Amino acid sequence: MRVAVFSAKSYDRQFLEAANAEHGHELRFFEPRLSTETAPLAGGFDAVCVFVNDVLKRATLVILREGGTRLIALRCSGFNNVDLEAADELDMKVVRVPAYSPHAVAEHTLALILGLNRRITRASARVHEGNFSLEGLLGFDLHGRTVGVVGTGRIGQVVVQILRGFGCRLLGHDVTESDACMRLGLEYVPLEQLFRESDIVTLHCPLTPETYRIINADALMQMQRGTMLINTSRGALVDTRAVIDALKTGRLGYLGIDVYEEEADLFFEDLSDQVLQDDVFARLLTFPNVLITGHQAFFTEDALRNIASTTLHNITCEERGQPGSHRVSPSLVKA
Ligand code: NAD
């Protein structure tokens, strides 16, 4: 197939080209994000290969379809950025990479928890300046603390496994309960109880209409004073303005995020020469107890290798009309 790869970075090219040796598709790499403005670039390509911040609303899909594109190959697991009903109506297939390395994201979640708790960035900056004072670096033992895991799927389960090793008490909330998580000692509870009893709340559910801003002012009010909130899932799970208010009052004691609702205008680019235009993000950066990474939780060699090989496998299956292409259907988003 002829495949137009959007939002292509050097590492996408490296891993996709290596994996394509087995498949022989014609890959063309485009640096811009896919949007109504850039969709005409895909004219004549059978498939587009896109990432988390490529927005595939109806208008973009119509342009793609008119240009001959029949397949959307997501090189990520989330699919909230695609209008699935419009794709279905236009007879365009959508495929994704459901699991490439739950470990990558789960381990990054722990990096945020530990980094915040032990104030690693602050401590390191101090030591580089010859300041060995411990004032302001006080942490807590994770052992014995209660962690609430919202979404106990692939990533959530690995988080549970790791936290079990730390000796945490584990609470969970999901629309489907996992036996594996219960065997690891996790107790499923209503969301309100999870918020009330957790020292740390970590989000691992997908972004759907039901989970949009699952962390809002009401949810934050139910949490204990000083709770740590971690979001490595999708930015819009969290109402950022409500979170800022909760950080100001101390209701939230720590915030660790790898995703941000308005990240599409910021993440994956070097903007260090530019004036930051997003005042909400700018406010987040002022808090000493906020740790932000730019959607890098997935970013390990192992994950990129798996993403590339599953993406090309999906495209080959669709080309040959074979099953196993990890299709996304509109019913998934309503599930
Ligand atoms: P998964 O599908 O295996 O697990 C998601 C879990 O969330 C499922 O158990 C599902 O039942 C549950 N869920 C659905 N609706 C829910 C609700 N309303 N309340 C509570 N739980 C609900 O997915 P996964 O592979 O574990 O990935 C989870 C999310 O992580 C993805 O949707 C994606 O948004 C995010 N992600 C982020 C990165 C990153 O780099 N930061 C990388 C990969 C995935």
The pLDDT profile of the chain, 335 residues, written as one tens digit per residue, is 999 999 999 999 999 999 999 999 999 999 999 999 999 999 999 999 999 999 999 999 999 999 999 999 999 988 999 999 999 999 999 999 998 999 999 999 999 999 999 999 999 999 999 999 999 999 999 999 999 999 999 999 999 999 999 999 999 999 999 999 999 999 999 999 999 999 999 999 999 999 999 999 999 999 999 999 999 999 999 999 999 999 999 999 999 999 999 998 899 999 999 999 999 999 999 999 999 999 999 999 999 999 999 999 999 999 999 999 999 987 765 43
Tell me, using a 6 A CB cutoff, whether residue 16 lines ligand 1.
Answer: no
Taking the C-alpha atoms of residue 40 and residue 106, their distance in angstroms, rounded to an integer, is 37
DSSP letters for 183-235? HTT-EE--HHHHHHH-SEEEE-S---TTTTTSBSHHHHHHSPTTEEEEE-S-G
Is the overall model pTM greater than 0.85, yes or no? yes
Residue from 316, 298, 319 nearest 100 by CA: 298
Atom 31 of ligand 1 has which residue's CA nearest to it?
Answer: 206
Is the domain of 84 the same as that of 114? no
Is the domain of 41 the same as that of 8? yes
Is the domain of 126 the same as that of 214? yes
Q: Which of 76, 105, 177 to mutate to test the pocket of ligand 1 (most atoms within 8 A of CB)?
A: 105
Q: How far apart are the first and last CA of the chain?
A: 31
- Tell me the three-class secondary structure of 263-295, residue by residue: HHHCCCCCCCCCCCCCHHHHHHCCCCCEEECCC
- Domain with 94, as residue range(s), is 2-100+300-334
Q: What's the gap in Å between 211 CA and the centre of ligand 1?
A: 10
- CATH number of domain containing 213: 3.40.50.720
Is the domain of 155 the same as that of 237? yes
Clarify whether 295 is annotated catalytic: yes
Is the domain of 208 the same as that of 270? yes
User: 245 and 221 in contact (C-beta within 8 Å)?
Assistant: no
Is the domain of 129 the same as that of 236? yes
Q: What's the gap in Å between 257 CA and the centre of ligand 1?
A: 15
Q: What's the gap in Å between 153 CA and the centre of ligand 1?
A: 6
Is the domain of 66 the same as that of 106? no
Tell me, using a 6 A CB cutoff, whether residue 230 lines ligand 1.
Answer: no
Number of structural domains the chain divides into: 2
Is the domain of 95 the same as that of 116? no
pLDDT of residue 329: 81
Is the domain of 95 the same as that of 136? no
Is the domain of 160 the same as that of 14? no
Tell me, using a 6 A CB cutoff, whether residue 295 lines ligand 1.
Answer: yes
Is the domain of 136 the same as that of 61? no
Exactly one of 25, 96, 263, 318 is catalytic; which is it?
263
Q: Which of 152, 155, 292 to mutate to test the pocket of ligand 1 (most atoms within 8 A of CB)?
A: 155
User: 162 and 107 in contact (C-beta within 8 Å)?
Assistant: yes
Tell me, using a 6 A CB cutoff, whether residue 205 lines ligand 1.
Answer: yes
Is the domain of 305 the same as that of 322? yes
